């Protein structure tokens, strides 16, 4: 256990339903293991429902709503995937503004699998190189981004660092680069 993220608070932004559980819990645990403080932010208070692909999995307590969350209270942002999760977030004006706020503030962001859909909606993909679940390639390119098929991509495009990954199989590499990026910010 290291203290790379000691004193840092990471927002995990999710919809209230449809999160790919391992893409929430694995990065969350890495933040905890490296001394950071993760906080679960969602559109509605209460609980969020995670899934293991299409099978209902665990519920998790929400720490705060996105309408009340302030970018200034966090050092970094993590966006888990799952198809339904970012699809719901990208139509939530508060969630989209929250994501854009991290880029405007120059704070690091990590997104895995389908999560870049929310980045596309926030208008922060243009000029950046990233990866995602393959079906998002056209959306990313149409938004002015460059899509690559790699396990993890770190885009050091001012003002904010962006770490992206394709799917749960990439979590070990993704988590390593996410922690490294968040620690260095």
Single out the residue of 145, 79, 137 nearest to residue 112, CA to CA: 79
Residue 97, both tokens: 């503004």
Q: What is the rounded distance in angstroms from the CA atom of residue 46 to the CA atom of residue 50? A: 13
Q: Where are the alpha helices (DSSP H) in the chain?
A: 21-33, 84-89, 93-104, 116-122, 137-142, 171-184
Q: Is 157 a catalytic residue?
A: no
Report which DSSP code applies to 181.
H
* Beta-carbon count within 10 A of 67 CB: 15
Q: Which residue matches tokens 């905890």? A: 32
Residue from 53, 114, 155, 157 carrying the catalytic annotation = 114
Given 53, 113, 155, 157, which residue is catalytic? 113
- Is 113 among the catalytic positions? yes
Alpha-carbon torsion, ordered 120, 44, 60, 108, to 10 deg: 40
Residues with catalytic function: 113-114
């Amino acid at each position: 256990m290291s203290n790379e993220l000691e004193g840092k608070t990471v927002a995990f932004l999710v919809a209230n339903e449809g999160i790919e559980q391992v893409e929430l819990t694995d990065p969350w645990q890495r933040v905890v293991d490296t001394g950071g403080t993760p906080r679960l932010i969602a559109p509605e208070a209460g609980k969020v429902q995670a899934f293991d692909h299409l099978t209902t999995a665990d519920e998790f307590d929400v720490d705060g709503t996105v309408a009340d969350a302030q970018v200034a209270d966090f050092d970094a942002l993590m966006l888990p995937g799952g198809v339904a999760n970012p699809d719901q977030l990208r139509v939530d004006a508060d969630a989209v503004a929250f994501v854009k706020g991290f880029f405007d503030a120059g704070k690091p962001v990590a997104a895995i699998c389908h999560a870049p859909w929310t980045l596309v909606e926030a208008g922060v993909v243009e000029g950046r190189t990233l990866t995602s679940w393959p079906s998002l390639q056209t959306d990313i390119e149409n938004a002015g981004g460059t899509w690559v098929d790699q396990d993890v991509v770190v885009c050091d495009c001012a003002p904010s660092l962006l770490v992206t990954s394709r799917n749960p199989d990439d979590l070990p590499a993704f988590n390593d680069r996410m922690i490294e990026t968040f620690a260095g910010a």
